[in-house]
């Protein structure tokens, strides 16, 4: 009887140790992912990634999933379900929560094994969304960033996903999917928002907006840009989008 109790105790200790090591590895993996999406020197992470069996040579693109819910607990439960779907079966996705209602996915970028294909990624996003089935009262948004070559490109990809999400939610709040390729020009111009070059570019449109008390001038400009839909008007339209996103 004593030997049986001893054996049971040892098994319980071993199981607890395995769970602890698994949880530790998961936390370390999440910390590594959060470092990858921030601009910094990458060399120090190679050894860390190797210890976690993460291949940093795989080209990756960043996507963001955000949930908005009335109850914080419901959003977190939904995020855990999404993480499980993204990691099982194994697809080499690197997934980490960046906030209580948002997570980042670093997805293998070359799904066809040759080149970056945003349309192929878009179809994968649609399939993922069909599997998620959001709980009632929860709004789900997915933003896909741009692919950049190299390990240092992951942080850039993540930033483009963040900017795409912000612009997409503002201008198309009823949609669930926002792709960098659809917001490329506004995202690029948004980088100038806090730069003197951006201030100079936006000055005429800001002056128009400040004098437009009833919004009629802006409606007229929008109608003009929509009617004369040519390449010359693209930068103006995109600046108009950025201005509204920054000031509203």
189 in a structural domain: no
**Per-residue confidence (pLDDT) for residue 104, from 0 to 100:** 96
Among the residue ranges 165-169, 193-197, 232-236, the one predicted with the least confidence is 232-236
57 and 178, same structural domain?
Answer: yes
Window from 17-21, 56-60, 71-75 with minimum mean pLDDT: 17-21
Confidence of residue 185 (pLDDT cuts 50, 70, 90): confident
Q: What are phi and psi of 12, to 5 degrees?
A: -65, -40
- Residue 13 placed within a domain: no
Q: Identify the bridge partners of residue 139 per DSSP, sorted by sequence position.
A: 68
Same domain, 117 and 163: yes
Band of the pLDDT at 17, cuts 50, 70, 90? Answer: low
Same domain, 109 and 222: no
Residues 34 and 81 in one domain: yes
Q: Using pLDDT thresholds of 50, 70 and 90, give the confidence band for residue 144.
A: very high
pLDDT of residue 203: 65
Same-domain pairing of 116 and 163:
yes
End residue of a domain, out of 128, 150, 182: 182
78 in a structural domain: yes
pLDDT tens for 196-244 read 555 655 666 666 677 766 777 666 666 655 555 554 444 555 555 555 5
Q: How far is CA 183 from CA 88, 144, 169, 234, 237, in A?
A: 31, 10, 11, 12, 11
Note whether 175 and 220 are same-domain residues: no
Task: Check whether residue 142 and residue 229 sit in a common domain.
Answer: no
Mean pLDDT of the 79-97 span: 84
What is residue 232's predicted lDDT score, i.e. its pLDDT? Answer: 44
| Same domain for 170 and 56 | yes
The total of structural domains in the chain comes to 2
Report residue 143's pLDDT band, with 50, 70 and 90 as the boundaries: very high
What pLDDT score does 231 carry? 42
Predicted confidence (pLDDT) at residue 172 exceeds the cutoff of 90: no
Name the token pair of 106: 């670093």
Structural domain for 212, as ranges: 196-247
Residues 156 and 212 in one domain: no
Residues of the chain above pLDDT 70, percent: 62
Residue 155 lies in a domain: yes
Residue after which a domain boundary falls, among 182, 206, 234? 182
- Per-residue model confidence as pLDDT tens digits over 93-139: 999 999 888 999 999 998 777 788 888 889 888 888 887 766 666 78
In-domain check, residue 88: yes
159/220 same-domain check? no
> Is the pLDDT assigned to residue 71 strictly greater than 50?
yes
Q: Which residue has the higher pLDDT, 58 or 214?
A: 58
Examine residue 187 and state whether it is found in any structural domain, yes or no: no
pLDDT computed for residue 87 by the predictor: 82
Look up the CATH number of the domain holding residue 141: 3.30.70.270
Whether residue 1 lies inside any domain: the answer is no
What pLDDT, on a 0 to 100 scale, did the predictor assign at position 32?
Answer: 87
Rounded to the nearest integer, the mean pLDDT of the chain is 77
Higher per-residue confidence, 50 vs 230? 50
Q: Is 136 among the domain residues? A: yes
Residue 80 and residue 132 in one domain? yes
156 lies in the same domain as 220: no
| DSSP symbols for the chain | -HHHHHHHHHHHHHHHHHHHHHHHHHHHHHHHHHHHTS-S--TTHHHHHHHTT--TTS-EEEEEEEEEESSHHHHHHHHHHHHHHHHSS----EEEEEETTEEEEEEES-TTSSS--HHHHHHHHHHHHHHH-PPTTEEEEEEE----SSTTHHHHHHHHHHHHHHHHHHH-TT-SEEEHHHHHHHHHHHTTTTSHHHHHHHHHHHHHHHH-TTSHHHHHHHHHHHHS-SGGGHHHHHHHHHHHHHH-
């Amino acid at each position: 009887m004593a030997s049986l109790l001893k054996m049971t105790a040892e098994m319980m200790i071993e199981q607890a140790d395995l769970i602890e090591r698994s949880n530790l590895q998961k936390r370390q993996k999440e910390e590594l992912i959060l470092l990858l999406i921030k601009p910094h020197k990458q060399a120090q992470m190679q050894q860390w990634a190797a210890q976690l069996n993460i291949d940093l040579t795989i080209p990756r693109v960043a996507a963001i999933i955000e949930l908005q819910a009335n109850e914080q607990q419901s959003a977190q439960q939904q995020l855990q379900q999404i993480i499980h779907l993204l990691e099982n079966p194994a697809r080499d996705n690197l997934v980490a929560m960046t906030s209580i209602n948002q997570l980042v996915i670093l997805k293998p970028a070359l799904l066809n094994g040759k080149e970056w294909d945003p349309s192929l990624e878009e179809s994968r996003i649609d399939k993922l969304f069909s599997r998620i089935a959001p709980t009632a009262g929860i709004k789900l948004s997915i933003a896909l960033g741009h692919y950049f070559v190299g390990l240092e490109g992951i942080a850039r990809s993540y930033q483009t996903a963040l900017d795409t999400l912000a612009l997409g939610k503002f201008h198309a709040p009823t949609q669930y999917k926002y792709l960098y390729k659809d917001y490329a020009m506004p995202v690029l111009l948004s980088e100038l928002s806090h730069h003197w070059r951006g201030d100079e570019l936006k000055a005429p449109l800001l002056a128009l907006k400040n004098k437009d008390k009833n919004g009629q001038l802006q409606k007229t400009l929008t109608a003009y840009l929509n009617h004369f839909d040519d390449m010359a008007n693209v930068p103006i339209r995109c600046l108009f989008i950025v201005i509204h996103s920054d000031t509203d």
